[in-house]
Amino acid sequence: MGSKANDLHMLFFPFMMQSHLLPLVDMANIFASRGARITFLTTDVNASIIRPTIDDSVHLHIISIPYAEFGLPDGCEDNDFPLSLDLRKNFFKAVASLYHPFDAVLRDLIPDCVVTDMFLPWTYHVAAARGIPRLVFQGISNFSLCIMDAYERCRPLVGEAESFVLPGLPHRIELLKTQALDLNKLAGTPMEFMLEIFKEINEVEPKSYGTVMNSFYELESEYADHHREVMGRRVWNIGPVSLCNQNVTYKSARGGEQPTLASECLKWLDKKSRGSVVYICFGSKGLFSVAQLKEMALGLEASNHSFIWVVQNGKNNWFPEGYDERIKGRGMVIRGWAPQLLILNHIAVGGFVTHCGWNSSLEGICAGLPMITWPLGAEQFYNEKLLVEVLKVGVEVGSKVFDFNPETRPIIEASIIEAAVRNLMGEGEEAVERRRRAKILGENARRAIEKGGSSYNEIEKLMQELINQRKHV
């Protein structure tokens, strides 16, 4: 970017949860590599998690959440912290109480712009009062944002229908009512407070300077255009940000340093043949009932394929009897946090069973992998539509009901899971075609971030624009 870019000072402020923190760290690294001066604002605990993966040139600035003041447990510095639903509200309140400390940071550092998470809508007002442009970090796809927008417009017309077609979108997208992300369902529940937060998000987003997306134009071009032209947002597609760093140390440490586990995974995968392993992971908090976990265990076993399976549930021993012995050498179970980028990008991995969180979906795309889609909630059912119907790189396992409660969610039987894995990893015409498409998407993703690629150019444009309009010269 030349010497002018070196003067551009950007301040990043993520929401405190892994799936929001990780892409923003990657994004900060990318802007740092393009010559911007970066301050990254986060809490102490989160700073220690990201330190091994953030560029040395990035200045980490600590902000403290007054958790005790809001009745939160000691060390509760992120939204992944296990909390009762009542306390969840207090967590958001505690974060919003950072209004004045955030203002003091802006007063002292006077950045040229701030990039703050969509879940921190109040940061817009702080930045606006100081005349600093605020860019929103949206952690989801253009496709999902377009669906949400279309859904809001057609919701009153849906009535009792079980399914409906979303109006005005580039493709015919039909949704089951049970798959929709309907915020109105929060009314009367302990999560009702989120309605107010989403109202504020929707109010300030159009007033903000623009939105930076972890996506790339070629992936969802019609929806990137729709987002800009029909929804009228100023958008920069600058991803996939997880491609910011290709070295093993970075991939092993992303989200928490676990060098022993990373090298165990690599050793295990090195023994497997190319494309033979299925990787199963449901994001940072994909929980299942014991009954569902048992079905999963049996389905994976019956598929006869090798697998790495990440299980977030606690340590209860729910494995079917003799399971450990039966899968020895063929299946590896990781409890807790796995080095996902390292695993997905190993040559032995040939398929990904995902809950369709946007980060995971995009990471699967970058790795050039076909996927089995198993959405649980949030906008994951929309990402499934993108992967299965638009991009045609996914096979649905058949999850039909938005339900974050693992105990009430309908169970998917072992035989169905087995069939989906066999289909994904098989040699049938469809599977081969799916694999071919996935590989092309992976290549396109890499091309987008390389010099001259669409995301590379968007970053250039955005930085130049910020330099041109800055007030503090």
Binding footprint of ligand UDP on the chain (CB under 6 A): 18-19, 22, 254-255, 281, 283-285, 310, 337-338, 340-341, 357-360, 363
Distance CA 440, CA 435 (A): 9
Check: CB of residue 258 under 8 Å from CB of residue 339: yes
If one counts every other C-beta atom within 10 angstroms of the C-beta of residue 129, the result is 10
Distance CA 313, CA 289 (A): 9
Tokens of 454: 């669409």
To ligand UDP, the closest distance from the beta carbon of 355 in angstroms equals 6
Check: CB of residue 374 under 8 Å from CB of residue 353: yes
Distance CA 407, CA 268 (A): 33
3-state secondary structure of 279: strand
Of residues 344 and 466, the one with the C-beta less far from ligand UDP? 344
Of residues 176 and 287, the one with the C-beta less far from ligand UDP? 287
3-state secondary structure of 446: helix
Of residues 105 and 342, the one with the C-beta less far from ligand UDP? 342
If one counts every other C-beta atom within 10 angstroms of the C-beta of residue 340, the result is 27
Distance CA 467, CA 365 (A): 33
To ligand UDP, the closest distance from the beta carbon of 415 in angstroms equals 27
Of residues 66 and 336, the one with the C-beta less far from ligand UDP? 336
Radius of gyration of the chain measured on its C-alpha atoms: 22
Angle between helical axes of 454-469 and 429-449 (0-180°, round to 10): 30
- Residues annotated as catalytic are 20, 117
Distance CA 33, CA 454 (A): 17
Compute the C-alpha angle 435/438/440, nearest 5°.
115
Of residues 111 and 214, the one with the C-beta less far from ligand UDP? 214
